[in-house]
């Protein structure tokens, strides 16, 4: 045991000393921002499978996981196909080329990478070969050896993008911890196409990938080629395509509980009390109606309960609902106070949407931008959607295009999306939310519920005392009438 520990310590010292020596000779990593992070534990604890690769590992973070080892065979198949395209150049030449960028590659990752230079270069060469073969399914071209998928890979990758395995792979590819630097993807791609416009071909593939995966499709692709290679990796490319750059607004102060939540809690408590009160007093009320030979007393006694129940029922139907309209993107979210229209971007949801959305939130949390607009957007949608009824309204309004099994799955997707993430004010979204809340608060139904909360529920001890005495009085009256046969007395009168 001691000898094993000693050899491990010696290996660690060798690696560290080598890294320091190489750092003195090279300064490529200076100025290279960290872009590939570990997902915060506060996020990963809610749904680990949305952040941890389930089928394939790309890059160093999950390279040694045994449950993903099966896919190594298919990654080697992609590397062999690349070797054929490189002929007479050998694959090891590509590995050596990647090794020259070792310090720059390491600087992209938040974690310390324990692999030596050669191991890391081979890892990146093989993983990038597979990623490029996968991305070729999004190419506009339909001919050429690179576009044809080998028979060994046909069950995993296809141009129609309909196979289950294909969707499972894309879910892993877009995860934050599974990213490969885009500059490396660009360099390796040059070894594929020796006589063509490398950047144009790769930009076409990346554009097809983004179009297929982006939840919000309204994107300006006019300057895509010039801008796409400025991004660090695929997830960052997705993020910057529809997260507009906005100015910073000071951090949010501690927000008061939402009016909807307070009203919902009050409504449930009051409805439960009314139901119990009516049930308990059903027998005395029937007795009173028999005694008086009329339903007048029954009507008078139950009328307040009926009105309260009706108002609460209206509140339960979602009085916040306004006229929903679609808009172009996150920066176009708006609420029109004049006509009560809420403008929201159209969002496409499918099997990979939750993984995409959650990893975009995780990436935004890691880079800590001045304005966390995407996180704020997920909070807005989470606030609007409580259940499948809300999803149905948004779907019928054309805001949500649902390709999942049910509206209930969509509601589950949004609930809790942005938990444990620092939030900043986003002027555009906050203004729309404030306008919708003001419009909602001006409704007479909401005013009535708020008034009930303030004046009725605020007097709860008094109401409880009166209800208890009423029950005692009615019970006493019932017992007396049973004993003295009140119905005959009233007939005589």
- The answer to whether residue 13 is domain-embedded is no
Task: Give which of 216, 239, 235, 237 is closest to 227, Cα–Cα.
Answer: 237
Judgement on whether residues 234 and 273 belong to the same structural domain of the protein = no
- How high is the pLDDT of residue 359? 96
Task: Give which of 185, 213, 212, 214 is closest to 199, Cα–Cα.
Answer: 185
Beta strands per DSSP E along 347-446: 347-349, 400-402
* Secondary element (H or E) of residue 323: strand 323-327
Which string of DSSP letters, residue by residue, matches 254-304?
A: PPPPPHHHHHHHHHHHHHHHHHHHHHHTHHHHHHHHHHHTSSHHHHHHHHH
Judgement on whether residues 298 and 171 belong to the same structural domain of the protein = no
- How high is the pLDDT of residue 330? 87
Q: Is the preceding omega at residue 88 within 30 degrees of 0, hence cis?
A: yes
- How high is the pLDDT of residue 198? 81
To 10 degrees, what angle do helices 282-292 and 460-484 make?
A: 50
Q: Are 179 and 125 in contact (CB under 8 A)?
A: no
- The answer to whether residue 471 is domain-embedded is yes
Judgement on whether residues 467 and 365 belong to the same structural domain of the protein = yes
Asked whether the whole model's pTM tops 0.85, one would answer: no
**Domain that residue 469 falls in:** 243-493
Judgement on whether residues 197 and 322 belong to the same structural domain of the protein = no
Judgement on whether residues 177 and 272 belong to the same structural domain of the protein = no
Where does a domain end: 241, 268, 301? 241
Judgement on whether residues 134 and 227 belong to the same structural domain of the protein = yes
Question: In order along the chain (493 residues), what is the average pLDDT of each group of 10 residues?
Answer: 63 73 57 90 89 95 91 90 77 92 94 92 95 86 50 65 79 96 93 74 91 82 83 94 66 44 54 55 50 47 50 46 78 86 92 94 88 89 91 92 92 80 80 84 61 57 64 73 64 52
Judgement on whether residues 52 and 131 belong to the same structural domain of the protein = yes
Judgement on whether residues 232 and 247 belong to the same structural domain of the protein = no
Where does a domain end: 218, 241, 264? 241
Which string of DSSP letters, residue by residue, matches 352-376?
A: THHHHHHHHHHHHHHH--SS-HHHH
Judgement on whether residues 305 and 419 belong to the same structural domain of the protein = yes
- Residue 229 corresponds to which tokens in the numbers above? 């290679």
Judgement on whether residues 409 and 434 belong to the same structural domain of the protein = yes
């Amino acid at each position: 045991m001691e000898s094993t520990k000693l050899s491990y310590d010696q290996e660690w010292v060798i690696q560290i000393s080598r890294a320091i020596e190489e750092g003195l000779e090279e300064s490529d990593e200076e100025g290279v921002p960290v872009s590939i992070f570990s997902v915060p534990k506060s996020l990963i604890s809610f749904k680990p499978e949305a952040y941890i690769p389930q089928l394939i590992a790309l890059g160093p973070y999950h390279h040694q996981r045994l449950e993903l080892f099966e896919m190594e065979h298919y990654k080697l198949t992609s590397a062999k196909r690349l070797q054929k395209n490189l002929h007479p150049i050998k694959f090891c030449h590509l590995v050596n080329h990647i090794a020259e960028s070792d310090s720059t590659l390491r600087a992209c990752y938040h974690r310390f990478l324990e692999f030596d230079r050669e191991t890391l270069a081979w890892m990146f060469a093989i993983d990038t070969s597979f990623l490029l073969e996968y991305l070729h399914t999004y190419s506009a071209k339909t001919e050429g050896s690179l576009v044809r998928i080998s028979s060994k890979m046909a069950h995993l990758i296809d141009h129609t993008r309909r196979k289950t395995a294909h969707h499972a792979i894309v879910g892993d590819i877009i995860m934050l911890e599974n990213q490969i630097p885009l500059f490396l993807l660009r360099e390796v791609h040059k070894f594929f196409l020796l006589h063509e416009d490398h950047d144009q071909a790769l930009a076409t593939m990346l554009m097809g990938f983004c179009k297929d995966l982006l939840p919000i499709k309204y994107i300006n692709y006019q300057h895509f080629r010039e801008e796409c290679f400025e991004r660090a990796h695929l997830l960052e490319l997705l993020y910057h395509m529809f997260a507009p750059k906005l100015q910073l607004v000071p951090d949010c102060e501690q927000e008061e509980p939402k009016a909807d939540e307070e009203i919902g809690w009050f409504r449930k408590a009051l409805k439960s009390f009314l139901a119990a009160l009516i049930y308990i007093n059903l027998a005395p009320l029937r007795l009173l109606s028999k005694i008086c030979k009329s339903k007048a007393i029954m009507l008078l006694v139950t009328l307040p309960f009926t009105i309260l129940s009706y108002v609460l029922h209206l509140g339960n139907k979602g009085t916040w609902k306004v006229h929903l309209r679609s808009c172009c993107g996150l920066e176009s979210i708006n609420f029109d106070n004049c006509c009560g229209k809420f403008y929201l971007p159209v969002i496409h949801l499918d099997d990979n949407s939750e993984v995409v959305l959650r990893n975009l939130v995780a990436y935004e949390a890691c880079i800590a931008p001045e304005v966390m607009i995407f996180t704020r957007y997920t909070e807005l949608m989470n606030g609007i959607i409580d259940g499948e009824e809300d999803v149905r309204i948004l779907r019928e309004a054309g805001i949500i295009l649902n390709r999942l099994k049910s509206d209930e799955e969509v509601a589950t997707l949004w609930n809790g999306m942005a938990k444990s993430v620092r939030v900043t004010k986003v002027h555009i979204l906050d203004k729309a939310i404030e306008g919708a809340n003001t419009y909602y608060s001006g409704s007479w139904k909401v005013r009535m519920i708020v008034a009930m909360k303030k004046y009725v529920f605020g007097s709860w001890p008094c109401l409880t005392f009166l209800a208890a005495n009423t029950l005692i009085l009615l019970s006493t009256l019932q017992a007396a009438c049973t004993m003295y046969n009140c119905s005959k007395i009233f007939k005589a009168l």
